[in-house]
């Protein structure tokens, strides 16, 4: 308990939250569970009011799952389009808000598909104009920990104004799986939403369950029996330190920019589809001198390209769909051991496989 409290104090400082007991938090399995906790607390704030959840088209599907499990109802999710930067469109969002409902505004500190960062300060301003009707939640699974870097922190201005932040420590902080965190600005509301009394959980004047001076994390999450996640976080911070962790995150972003430059050097065969401020690049192979190639065939080719890359053990590139119909290869660089030479090798192998696929009967006749 005491170790987790210390870890949470560090994380509050990193995220710009008040480092006192007015703000609460807990370590959980990951952002999916953290999101459920945040929405449960928001529901407590709005009491018996019906709720609307506002998020962008690129928001993580854990939002939908949490809304469904908590009984808020998928029909109460309002999907907001994104702008050219793939951020949630603030103007459309503001016009879509129905203040007769309690509203949760979900901002992304790095979307899972492209790494886009929503205008967190703009979202915070919007929620501040309606403090009794709106709750500002940030999905920081991908990028919230970039606050470890003084160079990258300005990208996330506004994060410190959130009512709740859900983020992972097993991604970009390299903590062994599984470990995420939820921070809630209103600690009393957090406990009121999830704390439950029972005779077998009674707090005493002394002993191992004292009524004063202690904090029981079962009152701040869904589990009574909890694994000890705090030690591996504590050891990570103590072993490497905040400066080193921030520098590795910066290194991954610089490597991403380098990979973008490689794609641009091969613009006759590779198309850059999306890249943001973080460590994610979406791209696809395009057949040279085949401007009229049907999208369906192009998508099929890139799917086969991705599968072959994975099956040959070259890299674990993942998938993303751009603008509802374009299949993209998604490169996400989060390994502290990655070197630029690895990216050179990956691209060389990708092009070799692409050329092999072009010679197969399935695709050769469509060139």
The predicted-structure confidence for 22-78, as pLDDT tens digits, reads as follows 999 999 999 999 999 999 999 999 998 999 999 999 999 999 999 999 999 999 999
Give the pLDDT score at 365. 64
**Domain range 2-227, CATH class:** alpha beta
Strands ordered across the beta sheet of 326-332: 270-275, 280-285, 326-332, 318-322
Residue range 131-148: average pLDDT?
A: 97
Residue range 348-352: average pLDDT?
A: 97
pLDDT band at residue 214 under the 50/70/90 scheme: low
Measured at the alpha carbon of residue 312, what is the angle toward residues 310 and 317, in degrees to the nearest 5?
20
37 near 194, Cβ under 8 Å?
A: yes
Comparing CA positions, the residue from 292, 297, 290, 284 lying closest to residue 351 is: 284
113 near 282, Cβ under 8 Å?
A: yes
Beta bridge partners of 180: 28, 168
| pLDDT digit string, tens, across residues 262-271 | 999 999 999 9
In this model, does residue 146 exceed pLDDT 90?
yes
| pLDDT digit string, tens, across residues 312-323 | 999 999 999 998
In this model, does residue 195 exceed pLDDT 90?
no
In this model, does residue 367 exceed pLDDT 60?
no
DSSP type of residue 269: T
Domain locations in the chain as residue ranges: 2-227, 244-364
In this model, does residue 118 exceed pLDDT 90?
yes
Residue 208, C-beta contacts closer than 8 angstroms, at least 6 positions apart:
none
- Mean pLDDT in the chain? 93
The CATH code that applies to domain 244-364 is: 3.90.1150.170
Q: Do you find a cis peptide bond into 243, omega within 30 degrees of 0?
A: no
In this model, does residue 225 exceed pLDDT 90?
no
CA distances from 235 to 6, 141, 230 (A): 12, 21, 9
């Amino acid at each position: 308990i005491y170790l987790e409290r210390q870890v949470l104090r560090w994380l509050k400082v990193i995220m710009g939250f008040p480092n006192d007991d007015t703000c609460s938090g807990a370590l959980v399995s990951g952002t999916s569970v953290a999101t459920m906790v945040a929405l449960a607390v928001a529901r407590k704030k709005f009491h018996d009011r019906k709720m609307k959840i506002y998020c962008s088209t690129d928001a993580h599907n854990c939002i939908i799952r949490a809304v469904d499990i908590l009984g808020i109802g998928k029909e109460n999710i309002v999907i907001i389009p994104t702008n050219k930067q793939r951020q949630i469109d603030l103007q459309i969002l503001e016009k879509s808000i129905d203040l007769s409902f309690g509203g949760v505004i979900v901002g992304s500190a790095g979307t899972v598909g492209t790494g886009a960062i929503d205008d967190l300060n703009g979202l915070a301003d919007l929620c501040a104009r309606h403090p009794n009707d709106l709750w500002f939640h940030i999905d920081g699974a991908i990028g919230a920990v970039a606050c470890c870097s003084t160079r990258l922190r300005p990208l996330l201005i506004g994060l410190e104004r959130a009512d709740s932040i859900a983020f992972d420590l097993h991604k970009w902080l390299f903590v062994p799986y599984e470990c995420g965190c939820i921070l809630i600005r209103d600690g009393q509301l957090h406990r009121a939403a999830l704390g439950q009394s029972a005779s077998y959980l009674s707090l005493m004047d002394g002993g191992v369950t004292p009524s004063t001076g202690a904090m029981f994390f079962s009152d701040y999450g869904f589990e009574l029996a909890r694994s000890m996640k705090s030690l591996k976080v504590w050891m990570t911070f103590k072993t490497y330190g905040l400066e080193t962790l921030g520098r590795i995150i910066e290194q991954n972003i610089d490597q991403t920019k380098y990979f973008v430059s490689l794609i641009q050097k091969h613009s006759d065969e590779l198309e850059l589809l999306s890249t943001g401020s973080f460590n994610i690049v979406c791209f696809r192979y395009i057949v040279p001198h085949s401007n009229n190639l049907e999208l369906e065939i192009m998508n099929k080719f890139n799917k086969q390209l991705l599968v072959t890359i994975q099956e040959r053990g070259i890299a674990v590139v993942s998938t993303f769909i751009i603008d509802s119909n374009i299949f993209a290869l998604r490169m996400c660089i989060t390994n502290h051991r990655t070197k630029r030479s690895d990216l050179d090798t990956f691209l060389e192998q990708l092009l070799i496989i692409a050329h092999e696929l072009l010679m197969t009967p399935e695709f050769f006749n469509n060139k």
